[in-house]
A and B are shown apart, each in its own frame.
Chain A
Amino acid sequence: MELLLFGETGWGDELLIATLMTLAVSITAMLIGFVFALIFTPLKLSKNKFLNLIANFYTTVIRGVPELLVIYLFFFGGSSAIMFVASIFGYNDYIEINAFLTGAFSIGIISGAYSTEVFRGAIQSIDKGQFEASNVLGFNKVTSFFKVILPQMLRLSIPNLSNVWQITLKDTSLISVTGLVEIMRQSYIAAGSTRDPLLFYTVAAVLYLMLTFLSMKFINKMEIKYNRGY
């Protein structure tokens, strides 16, 4: 038990920091995922076959390949690709992508594929009359998207987005390859160093449960808030 104490000899403070890191990288990944989803959802709903194809390729590939492989590919291929792009712009030196962003980005790509599907479902379930109504009111496409469609889409998406959040949170356990010290990597290091894997992996499980429990509480509150008036 003294292994879990704070301070020089215990792993308590390291695990606490790692938990915050998991939370931080999950939130960042979720937000990056939203950006991806906001780009790909319109493509998915577009009447243009080619744009459809691109969006479907993204969601199908990402959801059909193990997360571990996506992360590895991004880790090994990502920085080469970025350096290649940078070299086109005439920059040839080494570009370091820090572990946090590599991790958040690779999980974000995965999370974005799931969010895209959620947003698409939500938009499709919005009453057609709403689109027509905003047309009649003389809103242009952009205004009607931001003022009419987006708020409803977000409200309708909350229950399913909470699933995406859970997936994202748990996927962060796989990013240890990027060198980011989150819950899983810290437990792995501690288990290796103290030779007590049962203790540290159980602690890791408890920390993840705590994060899912607390975030679910928070999401339920949000749901109630955004459902006011319905």
Chain B
Amino acid sequence: MDFDLIINSFPKLLSASIITLKLLSVSLIIGLFIGLFFAILRIKNNIIFGKIAYIYSYIFRGTPLLVQIFIIYYGFGQVEFIRESFLWIILKEPYWCAVIAFALNTGAYTSEILRSAFQTIKPGYIEAGRSLGIANKIIFYKIQIPIAIRQSLPAYGNEIILMLKGTSLASTVTLMDLTGVAKYIISTTFKPIEVFIIAGSIYLFITFIIHNLIKLLEKKYSF
């Protein structure tokens, strides 16, 4: 064990974890909207839209995130007409390629979590709203969505942690996130074990915080 290396690389890794957190939060926010959109498509009784939402979720949950990010980054980068279209402004940047891959991936899982939450809402709640003369739209926004979100908190908490781990793949498309900087330090010091242990501890610490935040939210919104 090289303790000097551990002490020297800790601050570098810590500041790199800010990129990791930024990637995580941006992807989660976009992914939440994508997930909600597709979850609603699934529960509405439209066969075609329901099928589209199902296929989206199936493809993104059935393939590794690494493949998805490589298709978006290296794959699309080689297609002439994408490079000449307005899309290239976004796809040119490794950061946005990573965010797109992460958001689409987490969106697929989120849509499943929300769908099952919507489907397990007791019909009684909706009926109660109707009997009070509340419009369907308002029932949906004020009753169904909040209950669904509460129901899905534990599962969504797991998804956040899975996504945090997923962001480590950003390093495969040149981003200097926590894993990226760890690899960089290793490429100059040739000491993988020490560096990966610190990086791992930082990830673990972030997981711990997320885990407890979700617990807190669950308590706050329990009924």
Contacts and interface: CB of A to CB of B under 8 A. Distances in A.
Interface of A: 60-61, 63-70, 72-73, 76-77, 80, 166, 170-171, 173-174, 184, 187-188, 191, 195-198, 201-202, 204-205, 208-209, 212-213
A69 B179 contact: yes
A197 B196 contact: no
Contacts of B65: 170
Contacts of A61: 200, 204
A66 B179 contact: yes
A73 B196 contact: yes
B71 A201 contact: yes
Contacts of B161: 63-64
B165 interface: yes
A197 B70 contact: yes
Contacts of A66: 164-168, 179, 200, 203
Contacts of A188: 70
Interface in B60-77: 61-68, 70-71, 74-77
Given A64-B161, A64-B208, A201-B71, A76 B61 contact: no
B146 interface: no
A197 B197 contact: no
A170 B196 contact: no
A186 B66 CA distance: 14
24 contacts: A63-B161, A64-B207, A64-B208, A65-B165, A66-B164, A66-B165, A66-B168, A69-B179, A69-B200, A72-B192, A72-B196, A73-B196, A73-B200, A170-B65, A184-B64, A184-B67, A195-B78, A197-B70, A197-B71, A201-B75, A205-B67, A209-B58, A209-B62, A209-B63
B78 A198 contact: yes
B75 A197 contact: yes
B67 A201 contact: yes
**Top 7 A-B pairs, shortest CB-CB distance:** A64-B207, A198-B75, A66-B168, A173-B64, A197-B74, A212-B62, A170-B64
B168 A208 contact: no
A205 B63 contact: yes
B169 interface: yes
A208 B63 contact: yes
B79 interface: yes
B85 to A, nearest CB: 15
B52 interface: no
Contacts of A184: 64, 66-67
Nearest to A67: B165
Given A69-B182, A197-B71, A209-B63, 20 more contacts: A63-B161, A64-B203, A65-B207, A66-B166, A68-B169, A68-B171, A72-B192, A73-B200, A77-B193, A80-B193, A187-B67, A196-B78, A197-B70, A197-B77, A201-B70, A201-B71, A201-B75, A208-B63, A209-B58, A209-B62
A73 B208 CA distance: 21
B71 A208 contact: no
Contact of B204 (A64, A67, A73, A171): A64
B204 A198 contact: no
A99 B75 CA distance: 28
A171 B169 CA distance: 12
